[in-house]
Amino acid sequence: MGIAPTPGLPQVIPARAGLSAVRSARGPEKPNYLAAILFLAPAGILLVVFLLYPAIYTVLLSFNRGRNGVFGEWVGLDNYIRLFSDPDFLNLGTFPPSGALWNNVLWIVFYTSIVIFLGLIIAVVAARVRYESMIKAIVFIPMAIAATALAVIWKFVYSPDANIGLLNAVLGTIGVSPISWLGDERIVNFALIGVGIWGSVGFATVILSAAVKSIPAEIIESARVEGASERQVFFRIILPMVSLPISVLAVTLVVNVIKLFDLIYVMTFGGPGKASRVIAFTMYQQAFQAGQYGYGSAVAVVMLVVLVPIMVFNVRRFRTKAVT
Amino acid sequence: MSGGVLAEPLAGSRPHTPAGRIVATLNRSAVHVVLGLIGVVWLVPTIGLFVTSFRPRSDIQATGWWDIVQLHLTLDNYRQVLEAQGMLQAFVNTVFIAVPSTLLPLAICALAAYAFSWIRFPMRDTLFLIVIAFLLVPVQVAFIPLLTMFRDLVPDLQLTRNYGAIWLAHTAFALPFGIFLLRNFFITLPPDMIEAARMDGAGDMKIFSQIIVPVSVPAIAAYGIFQFLWVWNDLLMALVFVQDSSKFPMTRAIQNLLSQYGTEWHLLAAGAFLLMIVPLIVFFSLQRYFVQGLLAGSIK
């Protein structure tokens, strides 16, 4: 899954030192404008030209027809109205609901919870055996691999031909006839989410393993001496003590889902039909295949808006974090 | 390993009755079974594709890769995908894209991170919080404006026909995370070290290049590896910003293979492994830095 998170990863890396550390960090007594400008100019220019300006441009373009990517005909909220009345984007009128945005919801619910669940299980259980580092390395390998390669690996596993696809071959031995994992619109999203989980559990395991190991040994020892069962140790001590890393991890995974693209593009191209589209796929498809730049901008803005609360959360958390 | 107490319950709490011992052994076996199963599920799909990449096309069509009775191995698939399908060129293109897209952000982030940690100037905190806010801006918001800008403002540079567009895009979007990560490392360096250098009359450039960078090699390496693999593995940015098919990276070449020969598994398997080989080497040889990059300054 790429190193999955990447630009999404950041917030999993909580500040080792918050802003108070900035204040305590010493520069010379007087502000040094010249040095500040010289050191910050390359980053500042790039951020303004390639990030800030485009973001503002895209927000404005989302209120425009945006032919050829330039401002022409202003259409107000038209793009947004079309977007949210497009059943391929969000259709709450059926049961189960469907559409790209709904698929992101499915991903958030199942991918996030199962990745955390498996990551925690592996972190805790593997800590009891001698080959712990090997198990962690094995589940971590997919993190190093491109989503494009994961897609090929799993398209192969999911092949409807039982002579090629391992999954259908295994099911065949117990008499189940081959299933078209990626060709059935009721199944495809869950098949994809399965690949996403496979790709990200290693990340969760490494994060949670570090968190579990940071629990002071005496606490667990004394609980065991007091006669706590392993189950009680897990639910009463380990789980509460890793709840913060879990929440940070959950946020990272949600960001991952909102930015999810490569895997869908390579494995199903949003299909069959439009069944497995997600929001980032819709943005790409509308802008670059349908050539609807204003409409595509509106989709990008929806992505941005969904991420804003997490941005605010990050900034506030960082701001209030004391130096540790 | 260093599981500490988690590795095993205390000796005193071990069951002494025979029945208790049986239960404990069963629990132990259950642990091994669960972990063994996990190991299988996480290894077998990749191994399957790996084996397939060495099997002749006719064999792949006839039997599953797990049928090791008739195992003939060949390098033909690799030869074919490298030469006939242009994967060798794509490999070189990926290197051309990934190296500058790693080195540029490294240098620029290190400079900015130094300013945010050791130069005093007004609004430093505010600017840094803005950088943190930028962390989550999705690349999608930049696609249309950047393409329009490259097309209309600097048409002569042909940025989407050469590597200019993708270098710039990768670099810009790497900055918030890189600055954040390196600044959080630089801030932990002892102030006395920097103060002493200042007393001796060293300027900021000298402090940066001769003190900060040398002692920060582990953090810079961790970030560099992270960024390199990110670019190496990227498909989306390459789809948008590389428009000359002779300059496509491997991710795009494989995507093309897949849309043209969706069931030619001998080509797809070999292609996928060529894409994976560098990240796997990096992962196994530099695992420590790699994981550090992910955990940097993390949940302790």
Question: Does the pLDDT of residue B276 top 70, yes or no?
Answer: yes
Look at residues A100, A136, A99, A92 and name the one whose alpha carbon lies nearest to residue A118: A136
User: Is B110 a residue whose pLDDT tops 90?
Assistant: yes
**Domain CATH number, residue B180:** 1.10.3720.10
Cross-chain residue pair A280–B138, CB shorter than 8 Å: yes
Residues 255-274 of A with CB under 8 A from B: 255, 258-259, 261-262, 265-266
* A141 to B280: CB separation less than 8 angstroms, yes or no: yes
User: What domain range includes position B147?
Assistant: 86-249+277-295
**Would the pLDDT of B142 be above 90?**
yes
B221-237 mean pLDDT? 92
Number of domains in chain B: 1
Residues of B in contact with A201 (CB under 8 A): 42
HSE toward the beta carbon, residue A111, CA cutoff 13 A: 30
Measured CA to CA, the distance from residue B90 to residue A94 in angstroms comes to 45
Which pLDDT score is estimated for A320? 72
pLDDT band for A1, please (50, 70, 90 cuts). low
pLDDT at B4: 43
Domains and CATH numbers, chain A: 6-30+62-320 (1.10.3720.10)
For chain A, give the mean pLDDT. 87
Q: How far is the alpha carbon of B295 from chain A, nearest alpha carbon, in Å? A: 6
Tell which of A51, A139, A143, A289 to mutate to test the B interface (max B CBs under 10 Å). A51
Model-level pTM? 0.89
Q: What is the mean pLDDT of residues B153-173?
A: 91
Please name the residue that has the structure tokens 């290190």: B110
- B268: closest chain A residue by CA: A152
* CA-derived radius of gyration, chain A: 24
Provide the shortest C-alpha distance from residue B153 to chain A (in Å).
12
Q: What angle do CA B192, B198, B204 make, to 5 degrees?
A: 110
Using DSSP, state whether A64 is helix, strand or coil. strand
Q: Which of B73, B76, B82, B70 is nearest to B55 (CA)?
A: B73
pLDDT at A145: 92
Question: What percent of the residues of chain A are helix, what percent strand, and what percent coil, each to the nearest 5?
Answer: 70, 0, 30
Neighbouring residues of A200: CB distance < 8 A, sequence distance ≥ 6: A1, A4, A111, A115, A142, A143, A253, A256
Count Cβ atoms below 10 Å from residue B96 Cβ, excluding itself: 16
In the numeric block, which tokens belong to residue B132?
């943190």
For A269, which residue in chain B has the nearest alpha carbon?
B259
Instruction: Name the one residue in this structure whose structure tokens are 């070290």.
Output: B193
Answer yes or no: are the C-beta atoms of B173 and A7 closer than 8 Å. Answer: yes
- Contact between B39 and A135 under an 8 Å Cβ cutoff? The reply is yes
* Cα–Cα distance, B163 to B100 (Å, whole number): 10
Handedness of CA A11, A15, A18, A22 (dihedral sign): negative
Task: Answer whether residue B8 is part of any domain.
Answer: no
In a domain, B48, yes or no: no
What does the pLDDT read at residue A29? 65
Q: Using an 8 Å Cβ cutoff, are B109 and B223 in contact?
A: yes
pLDDT digits (tens, 9 = 90+) for A141-164: 998 899 999 999 999 999 998 888
B51: part of which helix (H) or strand (E)? helix B18-52
C-beta atoms of A128 and B147 within 8 A: no
Does the pLDDT of residue A258 top 90, yes or no?
yes
Distance CA A192, CA A158 (A): 10
Beta-bridge mates of residue A64:
A74
| String of DSSP letters for A20-54 | HHHHHS---SS--HHHHHHHHHHHHHHHIIIIIHH
Residue A277, pLDDT score: 95
Average pLDDT over residues A21-46: 78
Highest mean predicted confidence (pLDDT) among A105-114, A287-296, B28-37, B193-202? A105-114
Under 8 Å between Cβ of B137 and A11: no
**Buried (b) or exposed (e) across A150-172, using 16+ Cβ within 10 A?**
bbbbbbbbbbeebbbbbbbbeee
pLDDT tens sequence across A5-17: 333 333 333 444 4
Tell me, what DSSP letter sits at residue B210? I
Which residue did the predictor score with more confidence, A284 or A162?
Answer: A284
Residues 6+ apart with CB under 8 A from B32: A129
* Structure-token pair, residue B11: 């000796």
**Higher per-residue pLDDT: B25 or B115:** B115
Mean pLDDT throughout A231-258? Answer: 89
Residue B99: pLDDT over 90: yes
Size of interface A-B (CB pairs under 8 A): 406
How much of chain B exceeds pLDDT 90, in percent? 52
Determine, yes or no, domain membership for B199: yes
Interface test with B, best of A11, A33, A34, A47 (most B CBs within 10 A): A47
Query: Three-state DSSP class for A91?
Result: strand
A13 — alpha (psi -120 to 50), left (phi > 0) or beta? beta
Q: Give the pLDDT band of residue A323 (cuts 50, 70, 90).
A: very low
Q: Mean pLDDT throughout A218-235? A: 87
Which residues in chain B are closer than 8 Å to A202, comparing Cβ atoms?
42
Tell me if chain B has a CB within 8 Å of the CB of A181: no
Q: A324 near A21, Cβ under 8 Å?
A: no
pLDDT for B277-290, tens place per residue? 999 998 888 877 76
Residue B205 lies in a domain: yes
Question: Minimal Cα distance from B165: which residue of A?
Answer: A50
Which residue of chain B has the CA closest to A11?
B135
Residues B236, A253: Cα–Cα separation, whole Å = 19
Percent of chain A residues past pLDDT 70, beyond the cut? 90
In this predicted structure, the answer to whether residue A123 has a pLDDT above a threshold of 60 is yes
Tell me what pLDDT residue B298 has: 39
Check if the beta carbon of residue B52 is closer than 8 Å to that of residue B78: no
Which residues on chain B are in Cβ contact (under 8 Å) with A26?
118, 191, 194-195
- A118-147 mean pLDDT: 92
| CB-closest option in B49, B146, B293 to A152 | B49
Q: Does A119 touch chain B (CB under 8 A)?
A: no
Residues of A in contact with B44 (CB under 8 A): 166
In-domain check, residue B224: yes
**Structure ipTM:** 0.87
Percent of chain B with pLDDT over 70: 91
Is B118–A25 a contact, with Cβ atoms under 8 angstroms apart? yes
Contacts of A269 (CB under 8 A, 6+ apart): none
Distance of alpha carbon A266 from alpha carbon B59, whole angstroms: 25
pLDDT at A272: 92
Question: At which residue do the structure tokens 């191995």 appear?
Answer: B73
- pLDDT tens digits, residue range A175-208? 888 999 999 999 999 999 999 999 999 999 988 9
CB contact under 8 A, B254 and A152: yes
Q: Render B52-82 in DSSP notation, one character per residue.
A: HTTS-HHHHHHS-TT-GGG----SHHHHHHH
The pair phi, psi for residue B116, each rounded to 5°, is: -70, -20
For residue B300, the model assigns a pLDDT of 28
Residue A283, pLDDT score:
96
Mean pLDDT of B6-25: 60
Q: Is-cis flag, bond preceding A96, omega within 30?
A: yes
- Residue B245 placed within a domain: yes
